[in-house]
Chains A and B, each alone.
Chain A
Amino acid sequence: MPRAIPIRLNDESAPPIPLGVLLRRLMRLAWSHKAAAAPAIIVTVFAQIFVLVSLSGQGLAIDLLRRRADPAAPEPHWPFGLAPDAATPFMSQVFMIAGVILVASLFVGLLRLLQRLADEFFVQACVVDLRTTLYHKLQRLDFSFFDAHDTGEIIQRLTADAQSVRAFIQGVMIRLLITIITFAVFLFFMLREHATLTLVCLTVLPIQAFVMGRFAKRVKPAFIKQGKLIDRYVHYFQESIAGVRVIRTFAREAERAAGARERIAEARDHRIHIDRIRATHVPVVLSSSVFSMGVLLAFGGYLVILGPAQGGIALGTLWVFRGLLERLGAQTEAIAMVAASAPESLAGAERVYRLLDYPELIADVAREQQAHDLRGGIEFRNVSFGYDPEQPVLHDITFRAEPGETIAIVGPTGAGKSTLLSLIPRFYDPDRGSVLIDDIDAREFPLHTLRAGVGMVFQEPFLFSNTIRNNIAFGVPEADLDRLANAVEAACASDVIAERNDGYDTIIGERGVSLSGGQRQRLTIARALVKQPRILILDDATGAVDPITESRIQKALDDALGNATTFIVAHRLSTLRRADRIIVLDEGRIVDIGTHETLMNRPGHYRAAALIQLALDQDDPQDQNGESAPAATTPSGSSDRS
């Protein structure tokens, strides 16, 4: 039953998620936090109403004062029949209006604050939900997913793309809502005051929106290119620092400087190019407020001269229109930017949902068998497997390891040694045949029990940027110091810790102390030993450790884990001699199985390799190698530096 390989996330040929589906899913995310969204909407409506109150107050005050200064001017129009009786002193009327404006603007301020808080609350509710869902999903994806995708690409999904979902919710959904509400409230008011003037004044807004939309569209690719150019320069700078010894001892400073100048100049010229685009678009927005004041003055001025009695307007209304136009202009600008940024954030959202839809191939199906104990018996029954089922890496592998046995696996690079080992903790399921754990098919065995019982040491000694303690206790966070110290002792890593001032609290990795490949390997062995595993898997785990230490580790492991089933891939003969059985693997097939002695006694791969090794030992005891075949061009990805 050949497995179907899921389509890679960035596969161009994958069918796109239809826009409607995508929007529905985003809406559903937002809708599930609708309780958080409701206050944001209510607050926005009220904020705009109070803006209107405050502006109308100003208009009314202008009309009132104008009437006082010039009795020929039109009568001020008090809204809602609020007109004071004639006995009210003039200044009291003015103060009353001023009071209303004061209260209204304080309310506006308060509502703006609430609006910002409500926005953030809603957005955060959605974002925390999305991020934790994504992270949860990521941790349940199997190894084949991580094989098929670059680390950087996956990180991009969880950071930048998750941010673009946030940008969509905050920048598009909320922004759109605010704009629609604002327009609705303001337009309702303006049309009631004077429909024709409203329409005339609004002619500027579409132009402004068009220009800004065009700007955003044109400038976006330019900014993406700018980012790449800056990356190019930073990368070059970074390499010039990391490789400074090479540059200096080859006397290549001048060439490097020329290369840097070229990259810096490229970034400079492109930036100037972007600013040229800005120079033709951005001033449109800046000057359009002056321009629309001109339009308003022309038509509105005409209407004021006409006077309210002849279908015109009062001077105060002109003033109110001016204020509203200014605010609508700002909204238009914002909405144009939104329209331009929406496709980008939707693209990010699509990538996020692709990840969430990615099939989980290795699932824990055996939840009901939780009480199961792991004893450590492993059997491969006619196992075939390929990362791509079309290109099998393992063919018909059959062998059995009893609990407590030590099995060594040898073979040239690319023979499938690591692949074979990775089927034991069920990082992959075989294409054909089955892997049995304590005589139960691994697919039926409780996944958590299995993995909690396996001590895995990968070829690549990955450690987290964290303290040594947190790294070693990774599998058993509650382990006490004694337990850690024992594991460290058995991995011959005590000196790594002892030579640091902070001991177990030394931070290692990118932000802390850098360790040599051998030191890292020893810590990863300690990390596996802390679990006190029933099954220990050492995948070429001591390649960067010097031979003396390697044999010390081997001895210590024998003492520490007499009863664990151990699988080991190693190069050095001294290690292979200790194994109960040796599986010789070549091109994905088992070509021989036996002890060191039996294998040495019959012709075949193992003896040939061992003999070459011994010959090399004569020449150079320090460098032994378990591989005989001249197949060394496969990149090993080894990162050993000391």
Chain B
Amino acid sequence: MNTHAHNSTSTIGPLVAAPTEVEQQGTEFRSFDWSISRRLLGYMWRYPRMQWGIIALAVVIAVINTLAPVIMTETIRRTIEQPEQWTASTGLSPLAGVLIGAGLLVFLALSYYLIMGERIRSVSRMTERVVYDLRSEIFEHVQRLDMSFFDRTKLGRILSRGTGDVEAVRGAIAEVIPRTLIHSLMMLGLFAVMVVYDWVLALAVLAFAPLLWVANNYFQKRMAWAYRAVQESFSRLTANIAESVSGMRVTQAFARETINDHLFRDLCLLHRQRNMNAARIHGLYIPLFDVTSQLIAVVIIAFGGWRVAEGHMSVSDLIGFLLCTGGFFISIIILAELYNTTLQAMAGGERIFNLLDTQPRITDAPDAKPLELAPRGAHIVFEQVHFSYTPDKPVLNDISFEATPGQAVALVGHTGSGKTTIVSLIARLYAHDTGRILIDGNPIESLSLHSLHSQIALVLQDNFLFSGTVMDNIRFGKPDATDDEVFEACRSLGCLDVLERLPDGLNTDVGERGSNLSLGQRQLACFARAMISNPRLLMLDEATSAVDTFTEHKIQRALARLMENRTSIIVAHRLSTVRRADLILVIDHARILERGTHSQLLAQQGHYASLYSEFVRLSTE
């Protein structure tokens, strides 16, 4: 079967489109930037006592790491190499000397254990506080940004500020400062010890340091890129799997299994190739430290051997060298790694700060006043309002209308005519360009956002529900509502029976974005959420999709109840809604084309009348 599959996979597109841009994986390098560092340091110095504690511990650790090889070397020197002098000066046997040295090392090991433990704890305490500060700040800042930000920024991008980027910064905060300190001090200390043992050899060893630094940096960077490529092909593999599983019914219905097998195999092979490539670079890197330290051992033995033979240094000095160079060169590698961690953190930090520096365009004016509560519906006036999302594409052109308290205004027109935008402007999700929008006679920009939003309810077409139960979602409209109030809101909408028939009644979990509920049930829950907040102004974007007859009936009744005693502005898709409206605005290409009641508009024989007759014709054809 499937004779065409094998040969043609090269011409067949992949199952999932390749990502158009490589997602930021945190392996990005940025050049060192002082302003970002200073700002990150600022977060850390919010906790100065912890910071000083960490620095103090770092110094102690560096000292211990320097002392260990010195104790070893000196014990060998005094008790094994020069036992007579030892016994002469201390009166102790060489064996006692060895045991003293060993005892000192064991003591050092114990204190090292305790101090390292304390270091881990204190670094963690400070780092996690900074991470908390950053994450909360990001969250709160995002919550204040205006809609245009969300329109132009993909959700995943925003999320990665609070996840991947914060993680990159965390790595730097936790490790960079204390470990840089430890290893710099260690290098200094160990180098000083080597100079004391034999300054000529010490200088010879030092010459290797820049070499190792450069080689290490080179490989680190190449590895980062190679593993980024691995990551990329892996996420393609994963995306392909995810998509295959979600679309498996389609695949089988279209008898595509064999082609998909081949496509998947190609992706596996690509991933393998990238893994092998990364392994090649990694394979060169792994022995870098080993080989370098062996090369240095060769230098120490050859050159040091000569110095010993000439009587310039002793065998213990040579052993000391071999011991010290290990710690010395491992420190270089670690410092180079830390440098790369810093650069990665810079990239993350920069993105975080860019987000935090994005200013919301819609904020309370300095002299903003609250919208007065009134017992009747809100009074809305549009005066020659113009608006566009992008400068050259007007979305609303010279819109003027008035909704008096208690009136229902229906907005009718094609998709993209600008109906939803009118609603968004009244909620001040966007700021209009010119003209005036008055709420109860106040220019909308003079009102505090919180008071405005507290008195309106907006029901969107997507019927967005948060995860949690139906009850939680309805209570979102009034967080302090009792269970009884929630039931009452549903009852007054006439939809309590529908929601109570759910598996766990109102305590049913709505699932991801309400997926456990049918479309009609989601809509009713959103209505109840709006109802319980008891708004003075209701704005609603009706859903277009068909639901079954029974639920449809419920929805229409609930909507009528919801609109009672309040001003409402409805983006209407149902003729029943339109007919009930006190004022119908027919919007077309950013303008109001016709206005009036249902019967007035039919009498006009214009655009509205022709739309209506098309519906009627369709249903009786």
B614 near A636: Cβ-Cβ < 8 Å? no
From 103 to 152 in chain B, residues with beta carbon under 8 angstroms from any chain A beta carbon are: 103-106, 108-110, 112-114, 116-118, 120-121, 123-125, 128-129, 131-132, 135-136, 139-140, 142-144, 147, 150
A110 to B460, CA, bound (A): 65
A249 near B458: Cβ-Cβ < 8 Å? yes
A17 to B556, CA, bound (A): 56
Closest CB in chain A relative to B33 CB, distance in Å: 26
Closest CB in chain A relative to B256 CB, distance in Å: 7
B116 near A286: Cβ-Cβ < 8 Å? yes
B140, B237, B280, B302: residue with the most chain A Cβ atoms closer than 10 Å: B302
A249 near B131: Cβ-Cβ < 8 Å? no
A-B contact count (CB 8 A): 504
A373 on the B face (CB < 8 A): no
B518 near A632: Cβ-Cβ < 8 Å? yes
A237 near B162: Cβ-Cβ < 8 Å? yes
B549 near A293: Cβ-Cβ < 8 Å? no
From 267 to 315 in chain A, residues with beta carbon under 8 angstroms from any chain B beta carbon are: 268-269, 271-272, 275-276, 278-280, 282-284, 286-288, 290-291, 293-295, 297-298, 301-302, 304-305, 315
**Contacting residues, chain B, for A151 (C-beta < 8 A):** 242, 245-246
Query: Digit string of A485-524 for contact with B (CB within 8 Å is 1, else 0)?
Result: 0000000000000000000000101011000011000000
B16 near A113: Cβ-Cβ < 8 Å? no
A248 near B453: Cβ-Cβ < 8 Å? yes
Closest CB in chain A relative to B211 CB, distance in Å: 15
B308 near A69: Cβ-Cβ < 8 Å? yes
A108 near B294: Cβ-Cβ < 8 Å? yes
**Contacting residues, chain A, for B8 (C-beta < 8 A):** 477-478
B249 near A279: Cβ-Cβ < 8 Å? no
A119 near B287: Cβ-Cβ < 8 Å? no
* Closest chain B residue to A246, Cβ basis: B464
A464 on the B face (CB < 8 A): yes
Segment with Cβ contacts to B, from A339-347, A384-392, A540-548: A540-548
From 242 to 263 in chain B, residues with beta carbon under 8 angstroms from any chain A beta carbon are: 242-257, 259-261
B305 near A297: Cβ-Cβ < 8 Å? no
* Closest chain A residue to B299, Cβ basis: A98
A135 near B80: Cβ-Cβ < 8 Å? no
Q: Given that A101-B301, A135-B261 are known contacts, is A275 also in contact with B121, CB under 8 Å in the complex?
A: yes
B252 near A139: Cβ-Cβ < 8 Å? yes
From 64 to 112 in chain A, residues with beta carbon under 8 angstroms from any chain B beta carbon are: 64-66, 68-70, 90-91, 94-95, 97-98, 101-102, 104-106, 108-110, 112
A248 to B430, CA, bound (A): 12
A638 near B519: Cβ-Cβ < 8 Å? yes
**Contacting residues, chain A, for B140 (C-beta < 8 A):** 257, 260
The one of A272, A477, A622 in contact with B575, judged by C-beta atoms closer than 8 angstroms, is: A622
A241 near B545: Cβ-Cβ < 8 Å? no
**Contacting residues, chain A, for B13 (C-beta < 8 A):** 466-467, 469-470, 473, 477
**Contacting residues, chain A, for B257 (C-beta < 8 A):** 139-140
* Closest chain A residue to B456, Cβ basis: A249
Segment with Cβ contacts to B, from A154-162, A173-181, A585-593: A154-162
A462 near B247: Cβ-Cβ < 8 Å? yes
Closest CB in chain B relative to A59 CB, distance in Å: 11
**Contacting residues, chain B, for A642 (C-beta < 8 A):** 415, 461, 544-545
**Contacting residues, chain B, for A527 (C-beta < 8 A):** 254
A104, A268, A425: residue with the most chain B Cβ atoms closer than 10 Å: A268
B453 near A617: Cβ-Cβ < 8 Å? no
From 518 to 557 in chain A, residues with beta carbon under 8 angstroms from any chain B beta carbon are: 518, 527, 531, 543-544, 546-548, 551
Q: Given that A124-B275, A249-B429, A261-B136 are known contacts, is A617 also in contact with B619, CB under 8 Å in the complex?
A: yes
A238 near B241: Cβ-Cβ < 8 Å? no
B155 near A264: Cβ-Cβ < 8 Å? no
A146 on the B face (CB < 8 A): yes
Closest CB in chain B relative to A256 CB, distance in Å: 6
State which size class the interface on B falls in. 35 or more
The one of B132, B458, B517, B620 in contact with A265, judged by C-beta atoms closer than 8 angstroms, is: B132
A633 on the B face (CB < 8 A): yes
The one of B150, B283, B543 in contact with A112, judged by C-beta atoms closer than 8 angstroms, is: B283
Query: Digit string of B556-592 for contact with A (CB within 8 Å is 1, else 0)?
Result: 1000000000000000011110000000000000000
A143 on the B face (CB < 8 A): yes
The one of A113, A301, A319 in contact with B98, judged by C-beta atoms closer than 8 angstroms, is: A301
B476 near A252: Cβ-Cβ < 8 Å? yes
A427 to B255, CA, bound (A): 11
**Contacting residues, chain B, for A282 (C-beta < 8 A):** 116, 120
The one of B12, B260, B466, B574 in contact with A239, judged by C-beta atoms closer than 8 angstroms, is: B466
From 269 to 303 in chain B, residues with beta carbon under 8 angstroms from any chain A beta carbon are: 269, 272, 275-276, 279-280, 282-284, 286-287, 290-291, 294-295, 297-298, 301-302
Closest CB in chain B relative to A313 CB, distance in Å: 11
The one of B456, B545, B616 in contact with A544, judged by C-beta atoms closer than 8 angstroms, is: B545
A448 to B265, CA, bound (A): 21
A580 on the B face (CB < 8 A): no
**Contacting residues, chain A, for B308 (C-beta < 8 A):** 65, 68-69
B129, B144, B244, B283: residue with the most chain A Cβ atoms closer than 10 Å: B283
**Contacting residues, chain B, for A135 (C-beta < 8 A):** 241, 244, 260-261, 264
A25 to B103, CA, bound (A): 51
B462 on the A face (CB < 8 A): yes
B250 near A458: Cβ-Cβ < 8 Å? yes
A146 near B619: Cβ-Cβ < 8 Å? no
A90 near B103: Cβ-Cβ < 8 Å? no
**Contacting residues, chain B, for A114 (C-beta < 8 A):** 283
Q: Given that A108-B287, A143-B252, A294-B103 are known contacts, is A627 also in contact with B548, CB under 8 Å in the complex?
A: yes
B237, B239, B242: residue with the most chain A Cβ atoms closer than 10 Å: B242
* Closest chain B residue to A613, Cβ basis: B549
A272 to B543, CA, bound (A): 47
**Contacting residues, chain B, for A452 (C-beta < 8 A):** 254-255
A540 to B59, CA, bound (A): 72
A234 to B621, CA, bound (A): 51
A298 to B294, CA, bound (A): 26
**Contacting residues, chain A, for B390 (C-beta < 8 A):** none
A264 near B549: Cβ-Cβ < 8 Å? no
A246 near B322: Cβ-Cβ < 8 Å? no
The one of B118, B242, B272 in contact with A124, judged by C-beta atoms closer than 8 angstroms, is: B272
B334 on the A face (CB < 8 A): no
B457 near A287: Cβ-Cβ < 8 Å? no
A572 to B102, CA, bound (A): 91
* Closest chain B residue to A158, Cβ basis: B241
The one of B144, B259, B453, B543 in contact with A250, judged by C-beta atoms closer than 8 angstroms, is: B453
**Contacting residues, chain A, for B147 (C-beta < 8 A):** 244-245
5 additional A-B residue pairs with CB within 8 Å, beyond A113-B287, A117-B279: A241-B159, A275-B124, A287-B116, A509-B17, A547-B619
* A-B residue pairs in contact (CB < 8 Å), sample of 12: A98-B305, A108-B290, A124-B276, A136-B261, A290-B105, A315-B315, A452-B254, A477-B11, A622-B573, A627-B548, A630-B550, A636-B547
The 7 A-B pairs of least Cβ separation, nearest first, read A105-B294, A294-B105, A301-B98, A275-B124, A298-B102, A116-B283, A283-B116
